[in-house]
Structure 1
C-alpha cells in the first residue's frame, strides 16, 4: 500500500465507461469491499483496514459522484449497484465481503441480492430497509444552501455548521482547495438527486439474499430507528445484529475500536 501525507493513495478503475476512485488498503487476506455513504470518502475505512490486517484486505470504493469518481448524472439504485458489480469483476476477486455505511450499506445488500455470485457475506452499518417518511424523519439532507466556495477551510466549516450541522468534520473530508477558494468535491445538486433516489422501500433487496449478514447500529443514531434495525435482523435469516452503545450514525468514527472488533468477530466466525 502506498500512502501520501493525506493518507492512502487513491487508485482509479475504468468501470462502465467511467472512472471510479478507490483505495486498496493492501494485504493478501480475504477481500472486503467497503462502500461509502453519501458525502463520504474512501479513506474513511483506513482505521478499520488497519485493525483487520493482515487477515482481511479492505478495498474502499468512492461511489459515483463522490470524491474523485466520475458520474454520468444517473444516481438511481440500479446505477450504483451496476458500478459495484462491475468494480468487483474489474478487480478479479472471487466473492467478496460487502461492507457499507448508510447509503453504501444499501448498495452492499442490493449487490448481494442482485449479484449473489459476487458476495459471500454482508456487513451493513446504519443502512435501513426503509428510507422514507415516516420511518425516517429526514431521509434527505438539504445541501442546496451550502457554500460553493469560501476563502478558508475554517470558513467553509463555519458556514456548513450554520446550516444546523453540529460537527461538519465528516463532510469536510470532501473539502479541497480549488483555484477560486475552498469547496467540496461533490456537486450539491448531484447529492440532492442521489439522496432523493435513495428514498423508498428496499425490503425486497434486504430480504433477497441468504449469505451471512452483520447489522451494525449506533444505539444513539438519530438517522436509523432501532425498531427498524431489529425488524431487519428478525426478518432476514442468517443475520446478526450488534448495537454499539454511545454511537450515532457514524459508529465507525464514534467508536473505531468497538466497530472494528464487531466486524472482526463476525468475519472470524464465517
Structure 2
C-alpha cells in the first residue's frame, strides 16, 4: 500500500491506498489503531479489490488536535473519496470506532456506500477507557517500557501504533485526545443503524471483550438486508483470524455483485 495525503478542514490527512485496477473498498480503523492495520487484509483482497484505508483525525499520521464529532468524521471520509475522484458508491469496512463512522456514513450519504461490513461494534455505545489509557501518555526511553505499560493483552494489537521519536518511543495518538473521540461516539445509535438501506455484514468476535454478540445479532435481525456471522476471535477479528475474516468478507462482497 502507498502512503498518501490530502488536506481538508484545515487538517492534513494521511491514508494508505493499495492502488491498481481493483474495485475501491474503504477501510476505517478502530480507536488506538490506524490505516496500517489493514495492510495484510489489503494484500489478501488484491487485485480484485483496491483497499483505501484512512488514518482518521487524531490517529496515525493524520494531524492531531482537530475537533472530534460525527459530522467531522463523515466529512473527512467524503473528502477522501472526492480527493481520489471516487464518485460511485463503495463498500465500507469499519472496525469498532470505524464501524460507527461507517454506519453513520451509510445513513447520511447513501450515494457513497454500496455495502457495509461492521466489525465487532454495536449501536448502544457507553465506553469509558480512562482507566486503561491515562498512563499511556508521554515518551518512553525503551520500546519495551511502552509495551509493558500497554500490558500483555493490548500490546500485541497496538504494535503498529507505536512510533520512534527523538527521545524514544510513543504512541501515534494522544490518549487524552482519544478520550474526546470516544465521548464523541458514545450514545444510542439504533436510529441511525436502521436508516440505511444498503446490504450489510455484521461480524462478531466470539471472544470479544468489547461487544456482546447477542446485541450484534439483534442488529442483524432488526435491519433488512443484513447478515450476521461470528468468528473465533477477539475484538480485532481482522488481526486474530484474518484468513476466515477475509474469506467471509470476500464471500459477502461477491454475493452482493459489487
Structure 2's unaligned 5+ residue stretches are: none
Structure 1 residue 151 and structure 2 residue 141: aligned?
yes
Tell me the CA shift for residue 221 of structure 1. 1.0
Deviates more, 1:9-18 or 1:203-212: 9-18
Structure 1's unaligned 5+ residue stretches are: 1-7, 133-138
For this pair of structures, how many residues does the alignment match?
253
The residue number in structure 2 matching 1:106 is 100
Report the TM-score, using the length of structure 1 for normalisation: 0.90
Q: 1:248 aligns with which of 224, 230, 234?
A: 234
For the residues of structure 1 that align with 2:246 and 2:8, how far apart are their CA atoms? 29
Q: How does 1:1-270 map to 2 (within 5 A)?
A: 8-93=1-86, 94-132=88-126, 139-142=127-130, 143-161=133-151, 166-244=153-231, 246-270=232-256
RMSD in angstroms over aligned alpha carbons? 1.3
Relative to structure 1, the CA distance from residue 9 to residue 29 in structure 2 (aligned partners, 3 Å threshold; closer, same or farther) is closer
Aligned partners of 1:96 and 1:120 also within 8 Å: yes
Aligned partners of 1:116 and 1:209 also within 8 Å: yes
Structure 1 residue runs of 4 or more that deviate by more than 2 Å after TM superposition = none
Tell me the CA shift for residue 211 of structure 1. 0.4
Tell me the CA shift for residue 71 of structure 1. 4.0
For the residues of structure 2 that align with 1:71 and 1:166, how far apart are their CA atoms? 26
- Tell me, what secondary structure is at the counterpart of 2:233? coil
Report the TM-score, using the length of structure 2 for normalisation: 0.94
